Amino acid sequence: MKFLLTISLRNLLRQKRRNIFLGSAMAFGVMILITANSFSHGVSDIMFNKLIVYMTGHVGITFNEGTGRRIPIFRDKERILKVIQNNIKKDEIADVDEAIGMFCRAIGNGKADNVVVVGIDMSKQVSEELEKEYMESFNVVEGSYDDLARDDIENPVLLSRQKAESLNVKRNDVIRIRFQNVYGQDMAARAVVVGLMANDNLFMQGVLFVELKNIKKMMGYRPQECGNIQIILKNPVRDAVKTADRLHEALNPGPAFIAGTVRGAAKAGVTILPFMADNDSKRIMRESFKLASGRLDDVLAKDGVMIGRRLAGLIGAYPGSKISISFKPRFADKDASFTCKVNGIFTGPPDEEEKLIYMHESLFYKYFYSNLPDIIKDKDKAYIPPDDSPFSKALGTEWVLLDRTATTDDATKKEAQIAKKKIKAMTMDVNTMYETASDVLKLEGVLNLVTLIAVLILFFIIVLGVINTLRMSIRERTREIGTIRAIGMQKRDVRSIFILETVSLTFFASICGVVLAFIVMELLSLIKFNVVDNPMGILLLNQRLHFLPTISGIIFNILFIILIAAATAYFPSRRAAAMSAADALRHYE
Amino acid sequence: MKKILLIIMLVFITAAAEEIFAEPSVIDLMKKVEKIQEMTTDIRAKVEMTQQKVDQGIKKIDMIYYRRDSDDSFLIVMVAPESDKGNGYLRVGENFWMYRRNTRTFQHVNRDENIGGSNARAQDFEMRKLTELYEPAKTKEGREIIKEEMLGKIPVYRFEITAKVTDVDYPKKTYWIRKDNYLPLKELSYSLNDTLMGTAYYRKYTVIDGRYVAIEMLFIDEFEKGNKTLVEISGISTEKLNNYLFTKPYLENLSK
């Protein structure tokens, strides 16, 4: 083998000029391939770690408590964070954020513009690496990022230089913003500019950043409540889907109930359960319940309430009478109470007759979410009918967990179906970037495809060069082939000499190509692009092209090229080896 | 004895006078406002909105509005500008769709969807009673905030109300209503932190089937000064509307 390699290398040196030209072409191709792949990786890095991180997170948990309008709220932040903590390994997770943002009309100094206000949690401890990344992304050029956390300034905000220009504001100026809070009420607030960002990321140019606690207050969230959750993973491509699946399983809701006291003529302990209003649930309720008095149609109406016969007797309730219900909310010192009208008295097992009130979901969830009871603590004192009860499927749960979907299209279909169902309970969806940020990911796929096609065209040309060079080489060395075959060299060795010759040339050219690629990437990274209001700005990092070469990628590319070259060289080499010694020796040009 | 009788008479007269001349309660006024404007029939009307925005000039939006309260339905068909012509908004019960003529598609939308790019939201066209949404605002001492005063040359009651539900645009409002017939003349809308967001002037009313209908209203944006919208309502009909009006095919056929 060493002997064959020596001959191959010697042959390479015999045709220096030709091989230098061919090698240069190969090195150029390798340089393009490595540079393009590094650029593509760089774009992926920007997409996954700098765009999606801020847009949707790698995994998201979204809530919607509204039917007429979207109300992204979860009433027990601590509980959801605990589920996340218990179901994602510490070494997989980089960060967990509340995704709270709002569209606003902003008025600066005589100029108005539409803006998006996004909350940043300044109280959270993040790793140095992540903090450095945040700083790079924000790129605050005037003022200070840390001023966002100041309490002595009214709603401190950071904004891009472009937005500051469109609002005609400078540092320390006041911006007035109009927005809708989480319930849809029109609100107004003042915000003070504490810093300006020089940001090349188009998605961040229209955003005003404020401290999370300030935006939550403006939006009407109470301290124990949270908005949609974004989870940032260390290895999103590997972990996003499986993390979402795991969370989805852990977020299965329990039964919804209110355990409290009912007051009519007398008072008694009671558990209130919601029944759902879809057609299937209504049918189940009709089939499962018999009324001692009242009409089932009234019970199944929007404000329908039915009470057990024994309980009705105990508190003196009858259809048309009003009852008052009070219970201890999880997050308030005072009891919450509400009044409702009884529409029917049901009969059933003694326990159910004595302890239960069934309420239409429209009515129930209004009181349930506005003063969330302590479900976990109250479980012992509540009476929940067994799971195998014929009507248990018609009863409401703490929330409705939507099915997992894989793509944006599936997620859109799911949303449309849910909108039609008019679910009154809060809906909860666990999603990944593949559903929420598929457009961004598609852009990455398109870039990769364009790179691949360009490189394949380039290599087709190079392959033609290799074939042509080999053919010339074989033709020129036909008599030499005859000689070495005549003195006893085997066909296989002749073939190997030519293949080794090509492989060696490709290898050296690849090494040169890699070195060239690094030089080119370094030079291209020095160019600063002043991209404003251009979508292509998302491909830049700090106004420069972002290349991210990887060792595995480079090795793969070199092996790929060598493989192509060897495969290309195989057929002409086999033809050379297959020549008879006598014919080869007779060959004359 | 005479003296005692006189004192008793005086007490009664004072009490009666207080009763006669006492300011009505805010809740009574709210109910009266509701009652004089409450329509019990179906409605069809032409609505013209002239919207003036700073740096954007004047935009005119015309639409036909159909409302049937018996099943909580309404239909809005855009007539102008040309770019919006044929588009529509249909609400039947809890379902609310937006129709786009260009794509011939219906899309489920929220109640706070802006109508034809104007400041008006879909929920503004719903029939929701004032007393279901608001209650009288009270001072620290627990008294209702109500005053008698003059609005220009017209004697009015001025009162303040606060929202008792969360899904309203403005959590606080101040009304000026005429003393003689309880018609609202002016309305101020405030955000939760007491910022004045908008002023509405109800400039003209007409009487349809014994009920008052505001036919010219001016909405002034107090947040972004210079923005205002004039709403004019004409061609009001209270004839019963056909069922087919509140269907998707009707809206689709309009743009064919």
Answer yes or no: do A472 and A563 share one domain: yes
Which pair of tokens denotes residue A192?
A: 């003070």
Surface of A (257-316) touching B: CB under 8 A? none
Q: Which of A58, A70, A44, A19 is nearest to A430 (CA)?
A: A58
pLDDT score at A275: 92
Q: How far is CA B121 from the centre of its chain?
A: 12
| In a domain? residue B21 | no
Put simply, the answer to whether A185 touches B166 (Cβ < 8 Å) is: yes
Name chain A contacts of B166, Cβ cutoff 8 Å: 183-185
Q: Do A178 and B108 touch (CB under 8 A)?
A: no
Q: Is the pLDDT of residue B12 over 60?
A: no
| Higher pLDDT, residue A342 or A557 | A342
Whether A327 and A458 share a structural domain: no
Please state the ipTM of this predicted complex: 0.73
Best of B95, B105, B110 to mutate (most A CBs within 10 Å, chain A): B110
Say whether A188 and B191 touch across the interface (CB within 8 A): yes
Smallest Cα–Cα separation from A311: which of A365, A272, A362?
Answer: A272
Q: How far apart are CA B178 and CA B39, in angstroms?
A: 20
- Cα separation, B20 vs B22, in Å, equals 6
Statement: residue A533 has pLDDT above 70: no
Residue B89 counted as domain residue: yes
The H or E element spanning position A105 is strand A101-107
Residue A144 has pLDDT above 60, yes or no: yes
Domain annotation covers residue B43? yes
**Distance of alpha carbon A64 from alpha carbon A301, whole angstroms:** 23
pLDDT at B142: 86
Four-residue CA torsion sign, A339, A341, A344, A345 = positive
Please check whether residue B159 is in contact with residue B134, taking contact to mean a CB–CB distance below 8 angstroms: no
Whether A240 and A441 have beta carbons less than 8 Å apart is answered as no
The dihedral over CA atoms of A262, A263, A266, A270, expressed in degrees to the nearest 10, equals 0
Whether residues A117 and A69 fall in one domain: no
Q: Is residue B10 predicted with pLDDT exceeding 70? A: no
Confidence grade of residue B2 (pLDDT, cut at 50, 70, 90)? low
Q: Please, what is the average pLDDT of chain B?
A: 82
- Scanning B100-129 for CB atoms below 8 A from A yields 108, 110-112, 123
A362 at the B interface (CB within 8 A)?
Answer: no
Q: Is B224 in Cβ contact with A178 (below 8 Å)?
A: yes
Instruction: Answer whether B224 touches A (CB < 8 Å).
Output: yes
Residue A587 has pLDDT above 70, yes or no: no
Which has the higher per-residue pLDDT, A536 or A314?
A314
High-pLDDT (> 90) share of chain A, %: 33
Model-level pTM? 0.74
What's the pLDDT band for B19 if we cut at 50, 70, 90? Answer: very low
Rounded to the nearest integer, the mean pLDDT of chain A is 86
Does residue A112 share a domain with residue A133? yes
- Residues in chain A, how many? 589
- A367 and A262 share one domain: yes
Quick one: pLDDT at residue A451?
A: 77
Report CA torsion sign: A266, A269, A273, A274. Answer: positive
- Tell whether omega for the bond before B81 is within 30 degrees of 0, i.e. cis: yes
Paired residues of B88 in beta bridges: B77, B99
Nearest-neighbour CA in chain A from B206: distance (Å): 30
Arithmetic mean of pLDDT, A513-533: 85
Please give the pLDDT value at position B167: 76
A105 touches chain B (CB under 8 A): yes
Residue of A nearest to B122 (CA): A68
A337 interface with B at CB cutoff 8 Å: no
The per-residue pLDDT for range A460-477, each reduced to its tens digit, is: 887 888 788 878 877 777
Q: Return the H-helix or E-strand segment holding A93.
A: strand A93-99
Q: What tokens appear for B176 in the block?
A: 């000026």
How far, in Å, CA of A280 to CA of A423, rounded? 13
Size of interface A-B (CB pairs under 8 A): 64
Decide: helix, strand or coil at residue A17.
Answer: helix
Distance from CA of A405 to the nearest CA of B (A): 20
Q: Is the domain of A449 the same as that of A559?
A: yes
Q: Do A220 and B192 touch (CB under 8 A)?
A: yes
B94 touches chain A (CB under 8 A): yes
Instruction: Calculate how close chain B gets to A95, using CA atoms only, in Å.
Output: 32
CA diameter of chain B: 90
Q: How far apart are CA A426 and CA A400, in angstroms?
A: 6
Question: Residue B20 domain-assigned?
Answer: no
Beta-carbon separation of B110 and A70 below 8 A: yes
Q: Do residue A83 and residue A230 come from a single domain?
A: yes
Place of tokens 């179901």: A87
**8 Å CB contact of B224 and A187:** no
Nearest chain A Cα distance for residue B187, angstroms: 15
| Nearest CA distance, A217 vs chain B (angstrom) | 11
Cβ distance A77 to A227 under 8 Å?
no
- Rounded Cα gap, residues A50 and A437, in angstroms: 13
Interface touch A105/B223, C-beta < 8 Å:
yes
Exposure letters A451-484 (e unless 16+ CB within 10 A, then b) = beeebeebbeebbebbeebbeebbeebbeebbeb
Same domain, A362 and A245: no
The pLDDT of residue A496 is 84
The DSSP output letter for A129 is H
Q: Are residues A387 and A413 in the same domain?
A: no
Number of domains chain B contains: 1
B131 interfaces chain A, CB cutoff of 8 Å:
no
Query: Would you say how long chain B is, in residues?
Result: 256
Residue B161 belongs to what domain range?
A: 26-254
| Nearest chain A CA: its distance from B96 CA (Å) | 8
Confidence label for A577 from pLDDT (cuts 50, 70 and 90): confident
Range B90-108 average pLDDT: 82
B166 and A183: CB-CB below 8 Å? Answer: yes
Q: Which domain covers residue A271, as residue numbers?
A: 258-397
Answer yes or no: is B106 within a domain.
yes
pLDDT surpassing 70 at residue B72: yes
Number of domains in chain A: 4
Q: The domain that contains B239 carries what CATH number?
A: 2.50.20.10
Q: How many DSSP H helices and E strands does chain A contain?
A: 22, 22
Q: Which of B192, B222, B227 to mutate to test the interface with A (most CBs of A within 10 A)?
A: B192
CB A432 within 8 A of CB A60: yes
In sequence order, the 6+-apart residues with CB closer than 8 A to the CB of A370 are A336
Are the C-beta atoms of residues A244 and A404 closer than 8 Å to each other?
Answer: yes
> Does the residue B34 lie in any domain?
yes
Residue A344 and residue A215 share a domain: no
Could A112 and B54 be called an inter-chain contact, meaning their C-beta atoms sit closer than 8 Å? yes
Chain B neighbors of A422, CB-CB under 8 A: 94-95
Q: What does A217-279 look like in DSSP terms, one character per residue? A: HHHT--TT-B-EEEEEESSHHHHHHHHHHHHHHHT---B--EEEEEESSSEEEEEEEEE--SH
Separation CA A369–CA B161 (nearest Å): 25
Q: Indicate the pairing of strand B43-53 with strand B228-237.
A: antiparallel
What is the Cα–Cα distance from A273 to A358, expressed in whole angstroms?
Answer: 5
B197 close to A (CB below 8 A): yes
Question: What gap in Å lies between CA A510 and CA A562, rounded to an integer?
Answer: 8
Across B74-93, average pLDDT: 85
Q: How many CB atoms lie within 10 A of CB A138?
A: 20
Q: Among the three residues A368, A397, A426, which one is the final residue of a domain in this structure?
A: A397
Contacting residues of A for B112, CB less than 8 Å apart: 68-69, 180, 184
The span from the CA of B191 to the CA of B198, in Å, is 9
Is residue B13 included in any domain, yes or no?
no
Q: How confident is the model at residue B192 (pLDDT cuts 50, 70, 90)?
A: confident
**Contact in structure between A558 and A514 (CB atoms under 8 Å):** yes
Residues A447 and A565 reside in one and the same domain: yes
Task: List CB contacts (< 8 A) between B111 and chain A.
Answer: 68-69, 184
Contact check, Cβ <8 Å, A183/B111: no
Question: Among B120-129, B188-197, B227-236, which stretch is predicted with the lowest mean pLDDT?
Answer: B120-129
A413 contact residues in B (CB cutoff 8 A): none
Nearest Cβ partner of B169 from A68, A185, A419?
A: A185
Q: Are B191 and A185 within 8 A, CB to CB?
A: yes
Look up tokens 């380039």; give the residue.
Answer: A458
Does residue A389 sit in the same domain as residue A278? yes
Question: Which residue in chain B has the smallest CA separation from A220?
Answer: B192
Q: Which of A69, A107, A112 sits opposite B111 (nearest CB)?
A: A69
Classify strands A356-360 and A267-275 as parallel, antiparallel or unpaired.
parallel
Spatial distance between the Cα atoms of A4 and A556, rounded to a whole number of angstroms: 26
For residues A184 and B124, give the distance between their C-alpha atoms in angstroms, rounded to a whole number.
13
- Closest residue to A184, CB basis, from B167, B195, B224: B167
The whole-number average pLDDT for the span A316-324 is: 91
- pLDDT at residue number A252: 93
Select from A68, A176, A183 the Cβ nearest to the Cβ of B110: A68
A105 strand-pairing partners: A114, A178
Residues from chain A contacting residue B219 (CB–CB below 8 Å) = none
Rounded to whole angstroms, how far apart are CA atoms B94 and A302?
A: 12
Nearest CA in chain A to B223: A178
More confident residue, A541 or A30: A30
Spatial distance between the Cα atoms of A80 and A251, rounded to a whole number of angstroms: 8
Q: Does B189 touch chain A (CB under 8 A)?
A: yes
According to DSSP, residue A391 is labeled: T
How much is the average pLDDT of B221-237? 88
Residue A186: which of B108, B166, B169 has the nearest Cβ? B169
In a domain, B203, yes or no: yes
Chain A interface, best mutation among B134, B173, B223, by max A CB count within 10 A? B223
